[in-house]
Amino acid sequence: MAGLKAVLVVLAVSFSLGGNWVGAQVHHVVGGDRGWDAANSDLASWSSGKTFRVGDQIWFAYSAAQGFIAEVKSKEEFDSCDVSNPIRMFTDGLDSTSMDQEGLRYFTSSNIESCKNGLKLHLRVLPHQDPSETVMPKVATSDIPALAAAEAPTTPSSSPHLSSSLILLSFGLLLLCYVILL
């Protein structure tokens, strides 16, 4: 279930970009195509080698039945899996958060056993990259290279706004059907 949600996130981000610049530089799907899953408790290796910057978007795809995701304030809370006083709880099964400032961010499973088994993630958010260095936003995943980047058209189409609107509308309808079927 979390894998399906992660794929939907990647598709959503790819379609919603529609070849136009958006505020976030990179959309990261935590855990890649497996998402935030107790069976995929090695999120530290997923995040290694990735760069997180101010303006990036982090997506969590997970089964809410296995517990929620808590953002905690300190390394001590993170290390001890203490979610008694979280900054924020993610409870929908498909959530995102913006990396809005530099510094460390800590995310843990609300299920103590899963957290103690490694289902937690800490990120260092670096300063915003100069927009002149980045031409297009990217979708970062570790396991789906074919969907890894939303490419801009090389030649303008006759109706780029209509095309983007139709893609966004199509995705919205797909997401609505998915939610209704749950």
Q: What angle do CA 79, 84, 87 make, to 5 degrees?
A: 85
For residue 156, the model assigns a pLDDT of 44
Q: Residue 111 and residue 63: Cα distance in Å, rounded?
A: 12
Structure tokens at 168: 């966004």
For residue 180, the model assigns a pLDDT of 65
For residue 83, the model assigns a pLDDT of 96
For residue 163, the model assigns a pLDDT of 46
For residue 97, the model assigns a pLDDT of 95
Homologous superfamily (CATH) of 2-181 is: Cupredoxins -  blue copper proteins (2.60.40.420)
Residues of the chain with pLDDT under 70: 1-24, 40-41, 130-182
For residue 44, the model assigns a pLDDT of 84
For residue 33, the model assigns a pLDDT of 83
Burial of 118 (0-12, 13-18, 19+ CB in 10 A): middle
Q: Residue 156 and residue 107: Cα distance in Å, rounded?
A: 41
pTM of the model: 0.61
For residue 65, the model assigns a pLDDT of 82
Q: Which residues 6+ apart lie within 8 Å of 40 measured at CB?
A: 31, 34, 46
Instruction: Please state the domain extents for the chain.
Output: 2-181
Strands 69-72, 52-53: parallel, antiparallel or unpaired by DSSP?
unpaired
Strand ranges of the sheet holding 88-90, from the earlier edge strand across to the other edge: 52-53, 120-126, 103-109, 69-72, 88-90
For residue 66, the model assigns a pLDDT of 82
For residue 86, the model assigns a pLDDT of 96
